[in-house]
Amino acid sequence: MSNHLDPFSNPLNIETIQEIDNLDLPIMQKHHLRILAHCLQILKIIDLDYSLENQNKNLLREWCDNQSKKFDDKKFSDLFYEQLESTSKKLNGFSKKIGKSIKDLEIDDLVLLVEQR
């Protein structure tokens, strides 16, 4: 597990960002897709084992706390944790629904998720 992600770097690579930008989707769906993709990449960086629910929450909390220390902002950590936990649950439920591991989700899968809304 890596807790040393540079807070000023973007977990999404430029190719992924361009792929999303080139999709024939409304702007709000593209924005939602970028947020989901960003969160998914963070979850992959943290490398959670999604079958261990309580341990995951602790690892996710620890990662968020480590990120917020760089900004000296506990409120940021709390909000970031809430958002990542919520997104993790959403992605985990969706991945089960389509028969994939959350770690195997790709942009095409996330497009299906945002189009369901």
Question: Please, what are the averages of pLDDT over each run of 10 residues along the chain (117 residues)?
Answer: 47 87 94 93 76 65 84 84 90 93 92 88
Q: Which of 60, 38, 65 is nearest to 48 (CA)?
A: 60
CA distance 45 to 116: 26
Interior/surface letters 15-52, b for 16+ CB within 10 angstroms, e for the rest: ebeebbeeeebeeebbebbbebbbbbbbbeebebebee
pLDDT of residue 114: 93
Domain boundaries in the chain? 14-115
Q: Please, are residues 36 and 108 in contact by the beta-carbon 8 Å criterion?
A: no
